Structure 1
């Protein structure tokens, strides 16, 4: 299914790409929809051109493989897709950070993605796993982005972490920080998400529309502020709040990105001697950490997945999400079975 124009989708027929010697043909089992897919649908994604087949949160089954692919990638093997490319030549790639490749192209964004019955990908972009369900497979990538932000912030069990925004990437950061034993405070304007956040283990949730964010964080941290602030909203005001809420000697991680310029009073950068970091995509290590966590935490996916559409009903997914944006964590398309609420 392709996004054909702004606010419009359609089922289309495309030719299956030729299978190169290091490629596999994957039968797609389940695809999660990301905020970037929704922005493409809404005409707000500057990285995507239309028409575009969306979807980079992908799990499936190998059905065919090229002549240079290892035998472990045999037909029938279950796999999770790492949807980013890496040029192996830019400064990020050369220093072991291919997730930040200068020339990255992500499936479903700069190139067609996984909302198709079959997909051809290089075998080194797969993680084989036969333990996770189809839905859990498609949950790995978005959680990995949050886990990567937690890794960038070097979060430990001794930290108090403020996560700004409880969209799916923010939830990944919440789950990742909790998995490390940190105390997590979530800032989220949607009251509809509170019950799920508490079920994940979050005790303190702040709605900045109804209470003072700075006062509440100060009260919860004995006046010090947060050891780590992870920004997962992408608004100028939340970019500034991250700096304000961090403690002296604290760390700020930006995983959201603002669509307009952000102005700061930069004195706090120096006075607090903050470590301020960007966070982009995720590494294979992040993917593996999420897989381990999902396998060790039965039932986690059911708490996070808001709605699953069948392949036949895939065209309903974007309108549903757009109409219920404040209530939704994750929308998925099950290519093999039936959808459910």
Structure 2
């Protein structure tokens, strides 16, 4: 079967790989849609320290069950599903503490292990999440949205709070929707007016354009005491520092992205504001389930988020275009042709 493969930094092509078969406790899934993730772009650029080459990308997955291994009797052939693409060791401190998303030995499909941008994948039954009421395209949005939902959970957002989301790419939009779901007032910040328009249509009460506006001053106008929560979804030194600068007294800062270079903080603010600073990694199954419920009730969200849907054969060119103009796209979706 055909697969997209990043063969080395800067090189991506369509290749042929073997069709897998499910073993005991496993499920075969015919892939329908896979989203390109920011980690796929960094892998293409040679900037992802976790990836080895060659690598089939893809962990934003939707498909239909095509075969069941021995011992799997609670799924039906043809059922629409998504996949929890993180594989944890089960033994480290994070796993023992019920936080497998932060496993020290985590392997994510498309990063440390082969991904799903191909015709069929086989995964353990416990990684399969039914999505009977979602379109297949929208089922592939569950994973990236869940990363933002998880960050909202890490921030412990409650109804009535004000949340600033820095960055309205796919992950930031997931955080925005997760915060709206909690009943928060959301202020979205991004450089792109197109992405800010999407943010407003997904529920942001206010939008602030970075680069043109003085972001800190504008947020101070909107929230004189400072926001309760700032979620950073850019991964840039400037926004890492901005998050601490603008958060209100006794507020919470959650980082989803990570900067690629060391950052020097004025640590006085950590103490004088008595802020909580937290990281957020991947997502839990409960986050996936919350996103499924949210998207089921909002079928229009996928139309706003997905920038382009292309066949597998066009995936290499799409990745190259995204590399040259990353701000032009929110989500590139690859639609797989049905297997013969």
Whether TM exceeds 0.5 here: the answer is: yes
**What secondary structure sits across from 1:89 in the alignment?**
coil
Equivalent positions of 1:80-91 (< 5 A) are: 80-91=82-93
Structure-2 residue corresponding to 1:265 = 266
Q: 1:72 matched to which residue of 2? A: 74
Aligned length, in residue pairs: 335
Query: Which of the numbers 177, 180, 190 marks the counterpart of 1:178?
Result: 180
Contact 1:193 1:327 in 2 (8 A): no
Distance 2:267 2:123 in 1: 44
Counterpart mapping for 1:1-341 below 5 A: 1-69=4-72, 71-221=73-223, 223-336=224-337
**Once superposed, which parts of structure 1, at least 4 consecutive aligned residues long, lie more than 4 Å away?**
none
> What is the Cα deviation at residue 208 of structure 1?
2.8
**Whole-Å Cα distance in 2 between the matches of residues 17 and 224 of structure 1?**
56
SS of alignment partner, residue 30 of structure 1: strand
Match of 1:187, SS state, is strand
Superposition CA RMSD, Å: 1.3
C-alpha contact (below 8 Å) 1:30/1:336 kept by paired residues: no
Structure 1 residue runs of 5 or longer lacking an equivalent are none
1:314 deviation in Å? Answer: 2.1
Whole-angstrom distance in 2 between the partners of 1:15 and 1:55: 17
Q: Give me the whole-angstrom Cα distance separating, in 1, the residues matched to 2:67 and 2:76.
A: 7
Q: What secondary structure sits across from 1:282 in the alignment?
A: coil
Kindly provide the CA deviation profile for residues 5-60 of structure 1, in whole angstroms up to 9, marking residues without a partner as x. 22221221222345321111110010011000011111111111111100000011
Q: TM-score, normalising length from structure 2?
A: 0.95
Q: Which runs of 5+ in 2 are unaligned?
A: none
What SS does the aligned partner of 1:248 have? coil
The change in CA–CA distance for 1:17 and 1:336 in structure 2 (over 3 A counts) is: closer
**What's the offset of the Cα at 1:201?**
2.2
Assess if the C-alpha contact under 8 Å between 2:80 and 2:136 holds in 1. Answer: no
| Structure-2 separation of matches of 1:289 and 1:130 | 14
Deviation at 1:165, TM superposition (A): 0.7
Q: Distance in 2 between matches of 1:86 and 1:94?
A: 11
Deviation at 1:195, TM superposition (A): 2.1
